[in-house]
Amino acid sequence: MASAYGNPEVLSVIDVAVPEPGPGQVRIAVRAAGVNPFDHKMYNGTFGTDPAKLPMRLGAEAAGVVTAVGAHATGPAGPVAVGDEVIAYRAPGAYAAELVVPASSVVPKPAALSWEQAGGLMVVGVTAAHVLEAIGLRKDESVLIHGAAGGVGLMAVQLAVASGATVVGTASPGKHDLLRELGAVPIAYGPGLADRVRAAAPEGVHAAADLVGTDEAVDVSVELVADRSRIATIAGFARGAQAGIKLLGGGPGADPGTDIRAAARLRLTEAAEAGRLNVLIAGSYPLHEAAAAHRQVMTGRTSGKIVLVP
C-alpha cells in the first residue's frame, strides 16, 4: 500500500480486515500478484497527487485459491466454487494476501502455469491481444514490435507468431536469443533502425506496435508502415497523437479496449493450458519487498514479468 506520493519507499504492508464476499463476489487467497509499470505510476505523481486517494492499494492482477463465494458467483467460465484455482483480473488491490473481487473478474488458472506465471499473465496478455487486434494483424503479414523483450512484448511476439505473422522485434542484443526462440526476427534499436527493419522484412512491414514509448519507435513505424491506422502505441501518447496513430491503454486520449481485453482472458488461459503461450518470469519478491520489485520494474530492463508472492 502507498501511504504517500513519491518513490517506492512510500510502500508498506499493513493489516486490514478482509470482508466476506457479497452477492456475485468471491474471496481469494492470493498466491502471486503481477507487478506492472502502471502500478508505480499510481503513486509517483503521474496521475496527480490527490491526498484523498491515500492510502492507496495497488495491483490489478492475481492468482490464487477461492476461499469463499457469495450468492450467484459466476465468472466468464461458469460458476465459481470454494477450492477453485483462479486468475483474477481486473483485481484492484491485488497486492494482498487475501482479496475480494467480483466473480466476473475470475477465470480458471491453467494447470500448465505456476502460480507466479498465472499471477503475471493477464495484464501483459490482454494488452498484447488488444494491440494486435487494434492494428488488424493477419496471417502472412509482417509486424514490427518495438520493445519485443518486455512483458507485453513477449506476449505480443508469441500471439503474433501463433497467428501466422512474421515478427520483427526490437530489443537489446543480449535478448535476441530469447526472441529467436519465440519465433521472432530480433534487431537492435538505435541509429539505422529503419534500414535494419527493411533488411529483416524485405517485403515490407504491414503493421507496427510501439510498446516502449520512444520517439524512435513512433517515427520508424510511421516511416515504414503506409497505413497509420495500423500503428499503435501503449506508451508514446504525446508523440503518437502528433503522428496520428492509435493510442491504446490508460493514457490521455487512449482507447482502453475494455471489452476486447475482457474477451481475451479465456483465449489466453486456453492458449497457456495448451502450451502455446508461456509467461516468462524475470523475478519474484515477497509481498513485503514490493518496493524492491518496483525498483526493478522502473529500470525498464526486465525481460518478462515481476511478481509478488504473499
Query: Domain with 13 in it: what CATH number?
Result: 3.90.180.10
Q: Are residues 234 and 291 in the same domain?
A: no
> Do 234 and 166 share a structural domain?
yes
111 and 177 belong to one structural domain: no
- Residues 82, 110: one domain? yes
What is d(CA 152, CA 137) in angstroms, rounded to the nearest whole number? 16
Sign of CA dihedral 278, 142, 303, 107: negative
Is residue 264, in this structure, part of any structural domain at all? no
* Residue 45 within any structural domain of the chain: yes
Asked whether residue 12 falls in the same domain as residue 46, the answer is yes
Q: Which of 100, 99, 16 is nearest to 55 (CA)?
A: 16
At residue 44, the pLDDT reads 96
Q: Quick one: residue 183, left, alpha or beta (phi over 0 = left, psi -120 to 50 = alpha)?
A: left
Start-end of H helices in the chain: 37-41, 115-119, 122-134, 151-162, 176-181, 193-200, 215-224, 237-243, 258-273, 290-298
Q: Give the residues across from 11 on adjacent strands.
A: 2
Angstrom distance (rounded) from CA 140 to CA 149: 22
Same domain, 105 and 193: no
Q: Give me the residues paired with residue 306 across strands.
A: 35, 283
| Count of domains forming the chain | 2
In a domain, 254, yes or no: no
Q: Is residue 269 part of a domain?
A: no
**91 and 34 assigned to the same domain:** yes
CATH assignment of the domain containing 185: 3.40.50.720
Same domain, 136 and 243: yes
Whether 89 maps to a domain, the answer reads yes
Handedness of CA 87, 91, 96, 99 (dihedral sign): negative
Cell output for 185: 526476427
Residues of the chain with pLDDT under 50: none
pTM score, two decimals?
0.96
Domain containing residue 237: 124-247
- Residues 226, 241, single domain; the answer is yes
Q: Which of 223, 247, 271 represents a domain boundary (last residue)? A: 247
Q: Are 290 and 140 in contact (CB under 8 A)?
A: no
Q: Are 65 and 153 members of one domain?
A: no
pLDDT at 149: 96
**pLDDT of amino acid 57:** 97
Beta bridge mates, 208: 144, 231
Domain boundary among 247, 271, 301: 247
What pLDDT was estimated at residue 251? 87
Q: Is residue 274 part of a domain?
A: no
Res 302: pLDDT: 86
Domain boundary among 230, 247, 264: 247
In sequence order, the β-bridge partners of residue 30 are: 64
Helix and strand element counts for the chain (H, E) = 10, 15
Q: Is residue 67 part of a domain?
A: yes
Say if residue 100 is in the same domain as residue 141. no
- Give backbone dihedrals phi and psi of 233, rounded to 5 degrees, phi first: -130, 145
Q: Are residues 111 and 152 located together in one domain of the fold?
A: no
Confirm if 115 and 32 have CB atoms less than 8 A apart. yes
Residue 252 lies in a domain: no
Q: What crossing angle do the helices spanning 193-200 and 215-224 adopt, rounded to 10°?
A: 50
